[in-house]
Chains A and B, each alone.
Chain A
Amino acid sequence: MSWSRRTRHHLSSPLGIVTAGLLLLLLVTAILAPPLLGDRADEIVVGSLQSGSSAEHPFGTDALGRDVFTRTLVATRMSLVLALLVVAIGVVAGLIIGAVPIVLGKRAGRVVVAGLNLMVAFPGLLLALFLAMIFGVGARGAVLSMSIAFAPSFARLTHTTASGIANADYVSAARLLGVSRWRILTRHVIPNISEPLIVNMTSQVGAALLSISALSYLGFGVQPPSYDWGRMLSDGLPAIYTNPAAALAPCITIVVAGLTFVLAGELLTQILGGHHHGHLRMPSRLSRRQGPEAAAPTRSADDGDEVLRLDGLTVTMPGETTPFSPVTDVSLRIRPGEIVGLVGESGSGKSLTAMAAARLISYPGLAEADVHRIKGQELRLMRSRDRERLLGTSLAMVFQDPMSSLNPTLKVGRQLAEVAETHEGLGRRDAWQRAVDRLSAVLISSPEVRAKQYPMEFSGGMRQRASIAMGLMAQPALIIADEPTTALDVTVQREVLNLLQRISEQTAAAVLLISHDIAVVAETASRVLVMYAGRVVEELPVSGLVTDAAHPYTRALVASIPDMSTDRSQPLASIPGRPPHTAQLPAGCAFAPRCGYADDQCLEHRPELVDSGRGGAVACWHPLLPAGRAPQGMAGPASVPASARRVAAEGEV
């Protein structure tokens, strides 16, 4: 949106209309009230001192018998002018002080900043009161004291915003080129900090209005016969029993005027910042579900001893215009002790599939499946308490980033122990003992000491092993590891994968290993599922990965793995193009636009996942023949463009 369109958009919003209306009202009153009503405001109505509200005097009269309503209107100008003066002087002083560190360099800067920090610690009103003693009572003294009290916070804002910019690359470049500090300040710094300063200034007018009124109320500000709202409040307050309106009228105007400037600041932020709150379409439960177990299993006989069975999983997310499904119709079966790899590029839906398998898709996402069984128990039919216990004891998760997936404020041992405390009712000491035991099981040395440490005292690989140990606190039948090695060093990756393999062998726990790196999966898993644009496009045993892959996408992924025979003078293989966003999927095969074998059928009709005849399944109209034989009337896999060569998904974090 362009700036002017954005301005119009925001001005026509309810906030914009209210703010503009109030500002206009204040401005008109401030300009017109004193010349038009000034005389009437000083007129003394004989015989009606401090009278309550009447038709003639809607807010009654004050102690001298003057009309409160008129005086409130006339006082608008004085109150606003004083507030604007405070901010103007405060901003100028603040800009000068705040820019000192940039112009004078580091050492002088540090002194100024230390002084500012001290000043900012003191509430402005207190500072102003002490200063009022020096500057004396009266409008001038009050404005001076208040603006000096306001200056430190402006100075600090100037300084923090400016030092952010002063460290920016283009300013460093200017400095290297020998541009003077003064010129850097005027050419680079001030233009870039003006936006936050203007926004802040606007809302500070409101704050200044409240503060200067407070000073007047306390008797430091405007002195009779002049008056502003604060003065009127202090005159009206003693008579609050006889005519409350005399005290309440200035109260209300001060609040409304203050609020107007706060709203104006808010509006400016939106206009300058370009915030546009679009409404997302939320997914609702789909009606296509025909109840549990209704859909027929698509492949392989139902052999009942699976640790995980997931049929027809669809994950829906809110979208700009309509909800979309980053995961569609995914089915997964995992047997005890099996390691199943789930590969795909970033955005293919593999992590969402993993989260859905663990029932961890959270608002606003929505996961639905026809069948979702863990150890043969249908999760959707269980009471939530039983389900949580089943998942808590038999399912373990290992996440991608060990730096952020452990709680930084809890000791590692505590984070492990609480699993056993929650799900097995172990006492604190027993749970802790088990935590130490599991830490040693994942080969963490001196586990007693380590358990008492915080995650930040662990290295990345150690944290990931601790995460795995956390999963081993109960007796997991399934470990879902979502990119467990992506954030780790290559040498540490190996350790973590070996550990997962060893656990799987020793405890017969199944592992669902999610990775964008087909090499990691090929080394560790026994079966691979390849995902593309939210769907499984191929499933096959790892043993057949190199020779039997039928989907061109799988072939391309395999071709991207470097091995000892790879010609290292050539760049690595990659798949040209990018995967489509699942909110805008093409009608046919989602891979067709990047596929060297695609024809009209591929572009128009989406292929279903069917038995490939090689111990797996594939969703492709032109499945490739096992390596060595060319597919029907097509060029061999070598025609997958190998010129641009890098793993497209490699950069995923």
Chain B
Amino acid sequence: MRSSFRARHPWLVFLTRRLGRFVVSMAVVVTAAFAMVHALPGDPVRAALGLRASPETIRATREQLGLDDPLWLQYVDYVRGLLHLDLGISLDSQTPVREVMAQLVPATVKLGLAAFVVCIVIAIPVGLLIGIATRDGRGRTVHLGFGGLTGLALSVPDYLLSVGLVFVFSVSLGALPVAGMTGAASFVLPVIALVVGPGAYLARIVRAETQGVLSEDYIRTARAKRLPARVVYLRHALPNTLTPTLTVCGMILASMLAGTVLVESVFAWPGIGAELVDSVLVKDYPMVQAVALFFGAGILLINLVVDVAIAAFDPRSTIKES
């Protein structure tokens, strides 16, 4: 009976299972964020407030954070707080973490999304065109040149690229702002720094997939039907590269989130990545917890969206059965 239910409602079964996995993963992330504080060596409050804090302040802070309660109660309170979007008070600035996050998240999301869109808009067409140019082993020179360029782009990490870009465009040419978020021009350098590596990776994957798909029998069929080249490539080849491309896009978005940490630090971007670095250094752990949850939820959500998109758009997809 179960198998017939599964056969009749593949979508329902798939979505239930996939959402279930998301919830479990999210629970793991939440628990890990909670456990992190208790894994800290010594007294986290003492570590955060420093050696010169008075015992009274320490005691008051411990009480405020509920650190003297039994562990299970702390966990329950913590989860209950999360459900009410109560993320605690920052030890560093003494303001509610939620308010700090509300200020910082938009800057990071804007930067990440801008970089992601630029990456996709450039890398996918480039990969497709190079894939077409190198089909059936054609264009050895193009292939080598492309491999070398993307290899170079992949080996320069975003933070070093940021420094180089600052030197060339801000210090030497004085053309673009060196730091901060001050309008459209201030996006240019951080976006380039975030795009180059992931963009090269995506273009490589799309090229390899395109080249592979173009040697498939059904492309020969399409050519035998004498369809115009545009139709062969866009209608017959492109959709068949979709699944790996979507998977890589998800990975790229996740890696861009991580990339913001370093890039934001170089460009003094008022975002969550730069804040994470500062918070970890001063051991402002409610803040670190919140950032961990933000990144964790973001990455899990991206993976969820990618899986659902693959199941929805690729008729061959077996993801629903797994």
Contacts and interface: CB of A to CB of B under 8 A. Distances in A.
Tell me whether A and B are bound partners: yes
Interface of A: 118, 121-126, 129-130, 132-134, 136-137, 206, 210, 214, 217-220, 233, 237, 240-241, 244, 247-248, 251, 254-255, 258-259, 262, 358, 360, 362-364, 388-389, 391-392, 397, 399, 401, 404-410, 418-419, 422-423, 454, 456, 467, 470
Contact of B315 (A248, A251, A454): A454
Contact of B236 (A210, A217, A410): A410
Interface in B215-231: 216-218, 220-228, 231
Contacts of A358: 224
B55 interface: no
Contacts of B70: none
- Of all A-B residue pairs in the complex, the 8 with the closest CB atoms, nearest first, are A392-B226, A123-B258, A404-B217, A397-B224, A409-B239, A407-B218, A405-B217, A388-B226
Contacts of B258: 122-126
Contact of A233 (B28, B163, B218): B163
Kindly name the residue among B163, B221, B226, B242 whose own CB sees the greatest number of chain A CB atoms within 10 A. Answer: B226
Given A133-B283, A206-B155, A220-B280, A214 B137 contact: no
Interface in B131-184: 135-138, 151, 155-157, 159-160, 163-164, 166-167, 171
Contact of B262 (A125, A392, A404): A125
Contacts of B186: none
Contact of A389 (B222, B223, B226): B226
Contacts of B280: 129-130, 132-133, 220
Contacts of A407: 218, 221-222, 236, 240
Contacts of B226: 388-389, 391-392, 422-423
Contacts of B155: 206, 255, 258-259, 262
Given A240-B167, A363-B137, 18 more contacts: A118-B28, A121-B254, A134-B36, A206-B155, A220-B281, A251-B163, A254-B157, A254-B160, A364-B137, A392-B226, A399-B221, A401-B217, A404-B216, A409-B242, A409-B316, A422-B227, A467-B221, A470-B225
20 contacts: A123-B254, A130-B288, A133-B40, A137-B281, A214-B159, A217-B159, A218-B261, A241-B171, A248-B164, A248-B167, A251-B164, A364-B138, A391-B226, A401-B217, A408-B218, A409-B315, A418-B235, A419-B225, A422-B226, A456-B316
Contacts of B220: 360, 399, 405
Given A129-B277, A132-B280, A363-B136, A121 B218 contact: no
B61 interface: no
Nearest to B135: A363
B301 to A, nearest CB: 11
B300 interface: yes
Nearest to B266: A237
Given A126-B261, A134-B39, A244-B167, A364 B136 contact: yes
B25 interface: yes
A576 B174 CA distance: 80
Contacts of A456: 315-316
Contact of A121 (B160, B225, B259, B300): B300
B41 A134 contact: yes
Interface string B275-287: 0110011010100
Contacts of B108: none
Nearest to A397: B224
B292 interface: yes
B255 interface: yes
Given A122-B299, A214-B159, A360 B225 contact: no
B212 interface: no
Given A123-B254, A408-B316, A410-B239, A255 B218 contact: no
Kindly name the residue among A133, A214, A217, A392 whose own CB sees the greatest number of chain B CB atoms within 10 A. Answer: A133
A125 B135 CA distance: 37
Contacts of A118: 25, 28
B261 A125 contact: yes
A422 B230 CA distance: 12
B202 interface: no
B11 interface: no
Contacts of B137: 363-364
B223 A360 contact: yes
A405 B219 CA distance: 8
A214 B167 contact: no
A219 B314 CA distance: 45
A110 B119 CA distance: 35
B261 A129 contact: yes
Contacts of B227: 392, 418-419, 422
B231 A418 contact: yes
Contacts of B281: 137, 219-220
B167 A218 contact: no
A210 B226 CA distance: 50
B265 interface: yes
B211 interface: no
B90 interface: no
Contacts of A125: 258, 261-262
A248 B216 CA distance: 47
Contacts of B224: 358, 360, 397, 399
B96 interface: no
Interface in B181-211: none
Nearest to B226: A392
Nearest to B240: A409
